[in-house]
Structure 1
Amino acid sequence: MPSTREMRLRIRSVKNLAQVTRALETVSASRVRKAIQANNATMPYAEKAWKVLIHLARQPGRDVLHPLLRQRDRVDRILVIMVSSDRGLAGAYNMNITRHTLSEFDRAGVPVDYVTVGRKGRELLVRKKKNVVAAFVDLPSPPSFNDVAAIGQLVVDDYLKDVYDQVFITYTHFRNMIKQEPVTQKLLPLTVVDKEHAKPGDLSATHRTSSVFTYEPDQNEVLENVVPHFTAIQIYKAILSAQASEHAARMVAMRNATESANELVQSLQLEYNKLRQSIITNEMLDIAGGANALQNDERGVG
């Protein structure tokens, strides 16, 4: 049986741990709000940009307008961008996105390369002996568009060089503070999807529009400049959604850890009280036994 000193030290240790998890919960709550705000701030620009792209993509001969809009006749190699986190303590967040990614592409039938965003995802894929060709770690939270532009440039360049025939991104789509789900989105070739037929988290989906656009100097030059930019926008929004999901998952995990620590403190405190009561009772019995023995000795002497 542990001593009262050991019990006190254990209670103090668990209380300190509860303070840490409570602080992490507070930090995560602040960061998830910032990530949501950053994501919402990009919505007006992204929606208008997609309206322009949809208008161009629905023109006759869209497959010859730009190489990023052209469907390849055959798929010989695939690139997957997997967005995870740099830190742990987020419950099953990293394991869930890794499991989802592998289930989607382990049976692709063609070689698959991976670009990872986040240290944890890279470690998990390397452990599974997957071919990780690039890794991006320690992104700010939330990142700026310039922080993730290099990822978009990398995948667009490789796609245009015919290194890859399809490019996908897997990330955790933020629905609310309680629900986040891993999703897969096709980045290249760019595909226009109506909202009515879109999957959850599909960043390329939009409502039909009857807007009329006039392009200067011409639509080909517009496409040449903005289509690669759209790919980077999709990656940027996916990372913002994934970061919001990460912080929400960590907030929930830390809240659960704090509650468990508090329950453990109560249980330990109860055991400590019982131990003290047992010690006090034994001491009182010893005193009473000593007093009785002393009285018996005095009577014998008399």
Structure 2
Amino acid sequence: MASLREIKSRITATEKMSQLTSAMNMVANSKYARSEQNTKKFRPYMDRMQETVQAIASSGAGNLHPMLQERQVKRVGYLLITSDTGKAGPYNANVIKAITTQIHERHKGNQDEVSLIVLGKIGYDILRTRNYTVDDYRVGLPDQPSFSDVKKIAHASIRGFEREEIDELYIIYNEFVSILEQNVKVRKLLPMSESDLETQSEFSSLASYEFEPDKESILETLLPQYAEAIIYGALLEAKTSEHAARMTAMKAATDNANELIGDLTLSYNRLRQAAITQEITEIVSGAQAQQ
């Protein structure tokens, strides 16, 4: 059985850990609120751009655009969004599991068919440790990223498809549902599918508008920007999910620490009471022996 000093030491260490996880929970809470606000602000812009692209492409203007053309798949690009730091529960593990599953099931473990692009230090380190080849990566993204923070790597990913270095491009990230729920999403970005180009009924009138200089020229400029915007939107979703996951993980850690402190305190008091009782018994026995 542990001594009183050992139990007291464990209580002190656990209290410090509880204070740390509680502080991290509050920091994550603050970051989550800002990130959720950024995500909500970006959605109207993303929706309007998508509706415009859908309307132009559905009118027949995008039939010959390379970003809309299916071709024989020889190499697939995967853009993974992970975090730079841990302590976020299963946030990073779920993304890593998704990409490794894709590689082993779809590509039979053949890395020559795969091009990996990673955002986040955790994902980069884990994949390198497992001997996966990472073609491009970016670490040190801010908690509230701007479009310029990912524009370079997003542009490089799309250029890889346009140059036929890859034949498909997927994004793997944590989609934000709620504070308690974040789902890993594997989204095909390029080539864009028919479902991406289905015009919503309330915006179908866009197809009858006149465009200057012409629909083909506008689509030529707009489609790469649209694809980059999808990547940025996925990053915002992923960052919101990261902060939410870290909030949940740190709250659970704080609750567990407080529960452990309660159990240790109870054990400490019981052991202390037993020691006091033993001392009183020894004093009484000694007094009786002297009589």
TM-score range, shorter chain: over 0.9
Higher relative contact order (CA 8 A, sep 6+): 2
Of 115, 123, 128, the match for 1:121: 123
Which residue of structure 1 lines up, in the alignment, with residue 200 of structure 2? Answer: 207
Equivalents in 2 of 1:210, 1:160: separation in Å? 28
Write the mapping of 1:52-67 to structure 2, written as runs, cut at 5 A: 52-60=52-60, 62-64=62-64, 66-67=65-66
Which residue of structure 2 lines up, in the alignment, with residue 198 of structure 1? Answer: none
CA-CA distance at 1:60 after TM superposition: 2.5
CA-CA distance at 1:276 after TM superposition: 0.7
Structure 2, unpaired ranges of 5+:
none
Q: Percent identity?
A: 34
Which residue of structure 1 lines up, in the alignment, with residue 181 of structure 2? Answer: 179
SS in 1 for 2:205: coil
Q: Name the amino acid aligned to 1:217.
A: P
The answer to whether residue 251 in structure 2 is matched with residue 255 in structure 1 is yes
Write the mapping of 1:1-302 to structure 2, written as runs, cut at 5 A: 1-60=1-60, 62-64=62-64, 66-72=65-71, 74-109=72-107, 111-193=113-195, 207-208=200-201, 209-212=203-206, 213-295=209-291
Q: Name the amino acid aligned to 2:271.
A: L
Deviation string, structure 1 residues 8-45 (Cα, Å, up to 9, x no partner): 22111101111111111111111112111111111111
Equivalents in 2 of 1:133, 1:291: separation in Å? 82
Equivalents in 1 of 2:33, 2:139: separation in Å? 21
Contact 1:50/1:206 (CA < 8 Å) preserved in 2? no
Please report the RMSD computed on the Cα atoms of aligned residues, expressed in angstroms. 1.7
Q: 1:146 to 1:14 in 2, by over 3 A?
A: same
Contact 2:78/2:116 (CA < 8 Å) preserved in 1? yes
Equivalents in 1 of 2:192, 2:212: separation in Å? 22
Equivalents in 2 of 1:98, 1:229: separation in Å? 28
Write 1 or 2 for the structure with the bigger share of helix.
2
**If you compute each CA radius of gyration, which structure gives the higher value, 1 or 2?**
1
SS in 1 for 2:59: coil
Structure 1, unpaired ranges of 5+:
195-203, 296-302
CA-CA distance at 1:61 after TM superposition: 5.6
CA-CA distance at 1:224 after TM superposition: 2.3
Deviation string, structure 1 residues 115-160 (Cα, Å, up to 9, x no partner): 0111111122223322210111111112001111112111111111
CA-CA distance at 1:207 after TM superposition: 3.3
- Kindly tell me the number of residue pairs found equivalent between the two proteins: 284
Equivalents in 2 of 1:214, 1:129: separation in Å? 53
Q: State the TM-score, normalizing by the size of structure 2.
A: 0.92
Deviation string, structure 1 residues 59-100 (Cα, Å, up to 9, x no partner): 226231x2212222x111110001111111111111111112
Q: State the TM-score, normalizing by the size of structure 1.
A: 0.89
